Each structure stands twice: as structure tokens, then as C-alpha cells.
Structure 1
């Protein structure tokens, strides 16, 4: 078990993809009716890294990008956002960067993902073994990196190296069915990762999937604490979240917002939540800051550019003293 106090160094190593998001423009336009698109940095891990930087932390991304104009776009965007890309390498041949074509629409939002020959899945042992883990305060990854080889094995190797260096492991389940050869394999691999990590964040559908039964997601989240995790956040969309530790559970609600789109909330939540823990804030406050950041992002265009700064988040919270929903304490099950 890693000491979560290590987080206070506020230097995060993030594993996973960076991609290009093409948004139909202006907001509200359907993809099939669009004559213009706006490009932004995307990819769950890159978004989380941006969220951490904007919350006053440092973040380095370990990934591979395609050796072409789209890959160079991603690298330039990482630079623009202040994300360290020392360990972002290019992959040649037929490898291509993740590409998402997305709408800024709250209802019936289409998000078309292109992941054929994804460059980030080429992340290998040499990538994760080149990192000086002692420089960092925590390792963060999303479930996307586990969907294919050699990225999967490299990620588990990174877990081992980070653990030996005393880093807490933070895992965002982030299940994307289109990336996996089978649901059974994904469930087994995610369960293996969950049994290793210290902080695990996912939604009710993802935990239900890990459990192999949609009705048993909360039981699965609780079991991860029994297996060694220190914090599990079980998100339930509009119903808020249940945060589980060895000392018990508490529920939190959501902050109301006028959403423009459904994308980016999870990445924003994780970034603000982890940054708040790194600042030494209480766990409940960290969850609420994550929830507020998620509310802010869905009300803005894009994902990476929508991530709030710490000042933005503080101002939002000053105007929104409490979220909708309950915050009842529960005893551990």
C-alpha cells in the first residue's frame, strides 16, 4: 500500500493516449450537417494531464503518437498546455493517432471514434522503463491503455516500477467497449488492475461491468477496498457518487449546470479530484471539487480546452455552495 501523502508532491505521471478531437462548429451543429470543424487536443489521458496542470500540478504523459501531421498536432498541443512530453514517442508505419469527430450537443450527441491501428497501443516496455519514477508523486492511468498489447503489459510493468518507487497508483476505469476484443477479457484485466491500485474511479456501469453483473457494481467497488485499494469513487451520473474507504462511505451529489455536451466530465473529475488530494484537502472536498469541475466542462466547448483552472474552479464553488443530491454518511459494508 502506497502512502497517499506522497501525492502532495503534486507531480503526476500519466499513461495513455493523446488524440485529436474534431468538433462540428458552431456548437449545436450535427456532424452530417457540418461545413466546418474545430480541432482540439483530446484523448482521456491527455485530457487528465491538462486538467492536472490547470489545477496547479505538473503532469508528464507517457504515450506514443503517429509519425504524421496528426501526431505532431498532439505534441504541439501538449506543449501549449504545459504537459511534459519527454516520454511521448512517435510510432511510424501504419500507426495512426486516435481521432474523435464530436458534436457539441447535450441531446443525441454523436461521438465517432477512430481507433484503427492506434499509435498509443504501441507503447512498450522501453517506454515505461525509461521513466525515473522517483521524480513523481503518483502514477495515473485510464483503462484504455489496457485494451491491447504491448500497451497492456507495459502498463502493468509501469505499475510494478511505480510501486517500487513508492508512488500511489490512480486508476480511472474508463471502459470503451470498441477497444477490446471481448467483454470477458476486459473484465478480467480491469479486475487485475483494480486489485493493484490505490485510488480507483469509475461509474456505476463500469463497476457493474467489472463485476460481470450490472446490479453488482457497488458490491464490486466495495470489494476493491477489501482487496487493498484505499479510495474507490463510485459515480452514478445525476445521482452523484459514493466514495468508499476502509473507514466507511459517504455520498455526494452533483452541481447543476446547463450542459452543452456529455463529454469530458470524467477526465475533468479525475484531474480536479487528484489535484485536490495533492493539495492535502479532505477526501469529501476533493470529490466535490471533482464534481464541480465535471459540471464546468460539460458546459463548455471541447474537452482539453474546457478544463478549468484552479481559480476558475474556486470561483465556481464560491457561487455554488453545495451540490444537488444527498451527502449522507454510510457505514462500510
Structure 2
């Protein structure tokens, strides 16, 4: 089985106990382990993969909670470092009645941002491994430089790189710099997952077809395009497309839904003996249906990791 490595932030999501209430008026929160790379690593592991998370947490109660939660679902935590120099990142969430969310982040800086590039030296990637990253950790920091080093290593050994921008505008003071950073890292991926909500920012194209076409730069060979209630598309460099509709689901909390979706796809890619792009070409329809099934379970409950199903539960 291919090994899966996710790099980036691990944090605590504070989920409100009330809906339709602004953050300043919420009277209660439930802490849940989160952060997109963390969520994806957990999803891959719970769905039968061999998952590792590359991050750093603070030497605090929240860092302990993250490590213990991941160990409980058997994610390999040997690459998670701890530091006294900064605290574990926090995100406070507000929820609308339809389960959509808004975030307020506390990470200036947080422990994950201080992860040094030299730590990548001890990680032994192999051909066939999958490397997953997002954009939240690409702000100018040691962690950004660690991403560059890991992607260099992935290219050297022939690992497959998956990029989910997971755009979070409030974390960037300069949105032009954010766009330029996305454009610098995009060509390094073989598979890109992007949502309809972030497509225009990632590409600076308003026309959907033109925007999707513009994602095929550098190494990019496949784009996974999620459209909420409109379903998802799997698009290849030659223009061929696989479409799957979203099955009905009761949305309680959409936190981590996109992470569960790409995590489910990544789990299938890890379990296949074929090359990832070939797996997507031959089995893309079934893989998208499986990803919808997993994310549908996640949005019906609170918490990004606690709501992740196992294969047996599906």
C-alpha cells in the first residue's frame, strides 16, 4: 500500500453550541481537533490507509489533545514535533442554521508555523507515496520553507503530490501575495482539489470553464472540482470529465467536509496498485461516489475528525 503524508497545520476548532449566533455572543464551545492536513490524514487512516502527519504543536494541553486524538485513530504521529516557542493554533467557528461556518483564527504565530525545514531531512519518501498539502501553512514562515523542501524531495523520488488550496482569506494580510503564493505552488501538484467557492480567487477567472482550464499548469494532470449541492467533477488534462451528483444529506456542520472528500479519494489512491492518475481515469466515478458518501456522513455530525466514518461504518 502507498504511504500518505500530509503536511501543514494541526489546530483546535472550537465549535459553537449555538447556531445563528455571532462569535461574540456565543456562550459555549466544544473543542474538536482540526486543521485541514490533520483532518485529511485522519480520514485516510480511518478509511484503511497508511497515514502520517507532518506538523508541530505547542507543548500545551491542546497539542496533547491533537496527538492523542490522532493516535486513537492510528495516524502515525512520529513526525509531529512539539515546541515551547509558540502555542497550538486555535480556530473559533460560528455556524449558520444550514451548517455553513465562519472562522476566527489564533495563530500569529502558532507552533505549526515554526516547523523548521531541516526536519524534512529525516523523512524518507518513496516512489508511489502521496504527499498532501494546503495553503493555510504557506504564509511566510519556516513551515512554508519546509513545504518547499518536502515537495523537492517528492519530485526527486517520484511521489504523487495532491494540493487542496483550502482558501482562508482572513489569514493573509495581502491577498495579492496569497494569490501569487498559490500560483507558485500550484504547478508542483499532480492532483488539485478546488471548490466552487474558491475557484475564482485561485485562478482570477470568473468564467468557470476558463478557470478550470487554467489550473492545468506544470505537473497538474487532474483537477477535482467540488460544487457543494451541485456535485463534483473530475477533470483531466485532455478535457475528459467525470461528473457525480451530490446525494441528499442533512447538514449539521460542514467543518471538515472538503477534507473528508479529498481524504476519501486519497485513501482509494493509496490502496490502488495503479498509478494515481490511472486509478482516477479508470475508477473515477466510483471514487467520487465514495468520497460523497464519506463527506455526507461527516456533515451530518459535529467535528471534523470525530465524525469521520470507518470503512465498516459505511
Structure 2: stretches of 5+ with no match in the other structure:
273-278
* Distance of aligned partners of 1:217 and 1:29 in 2 relative to their CA distance in 1, 3 Å threshold: closer
User: Paired residue for 2:219?
Assistant: 228
State the TM-score, normalizing by the size of structure 2. Answer: 0.88
Matched position secondary structure for 1:10: coil
Structure 2 partner of 1:177 = 169
Q: Secondary structure at the match of 1:205?
A: coil
CA contact (8 A) 1:66 1:91 kept: yes
Given that residues 276 and 289 in structure 1 are in contact (C-alpha distance below 8 angstroms), is that contact kept between their aligned partners in structure 2? no
Give the number of equivalent residue pairs: 302
1:245 aligns with 2:246: no
* Structure 2 match to 1:89: 81
Structure 1 stretches of 5 or more lacking a match?
1-8, 314-333
Contact kept in structure 1, 2:242 and 2:284, CA below 8 Å? no
More deviation in 301-310 or 98-107?
A: 98-107
Q: Retained in 1: the 8 A contact 2:128–2:160? A: no
Q: Report what 2:250 is aligned to.
A: 258
Give the equivalent residue in structure 2 for 1:287. 288
Q: SS of the counterpart of 1:170?
A: strand
- 1:320 alignment partner in structure 2: none
> Taking structure 1 as reference, are residues 201 and 109 closer, same or farther at Cα in structure 2, changes over 3 Å only?
closer
Within the candidate set 114, 127, 137, 2:129 is matched to 137
**Is residue 134–residue 166 contact of structure 2 (8 Å, CA) maintained in 1?**
yes
- Comparing 255-264 with 215-224, which one deviates more in the overlay? 215-224
1:228–1:217 CA distance, 2 compared to 1 (3 A): farther
Aligned residue for 1:41, secondary structure, equals: strand
Q: By how many angstroms is 1:134 displaced? A: 2.2
TM-score, normalised to structure 1, is 0.83
Tell me whether 1:47 sits opposite 2:39 in the alignment. yes
1:76 aligns with 2:68: yes
Shift of the 111–125 alpha-carbon distance from structure 1 to 2, 3 Å rule, reads closer
Q: Compared with structure 1, are the counterparts of its residues 250 and 29 closer, same or farther at alpha carbon in structure 2 (3 Å cutoff)?
A: closer
Q: Structure 1 residues 110 and 190, CA, compared in 2 at 3 Å: closer, same or farther?
A: closer
2:90 corresponds, among 96, 99, 103, to 99
Bigger mean CA offset, 277-286 vs 139-148 = 277-286
1:15 CA displacement:
0.2
Supply the distance in 2 between the matched residues of 1:97 and 1:104 (Cα, whole angstroms): 23
Q: What does residue 208 of structure 1 align with?
A: 200
Tell me the secondary structure at the aligned position of residue 225 of structure 1: coil
Alpha carbons of structure 1 residues 35 and 149: separation in structure 2 relative to 1, 3 Å? closer
Q: Aligned residue for 1:190?
A: 182
For 1:38, what is the secondary structure of its paired residue? strand
Task: Summarize the alignment of residues 8-87 of structure 1 with structure 2, pairs less than 5 Å apart.
Answer: 9-25=1-17, 28=19, 30=21, 36-87=28-79
Aligned-pair Cα RMSD in Å: 2.2
Give the corresponding residue for 1:271: 263
SS at match of 1:227: coil
- Quote how far apart the aligned CAs of 1:88 are: 1.0
Inter-CA distance 285–221: structure 2 relative to 1 (3 Å threshold): same
Quick one: structure 1 residues 150 and 36, their matched pair in 2 at CA, closer, same or farther if it must change by over 3 Å?
same
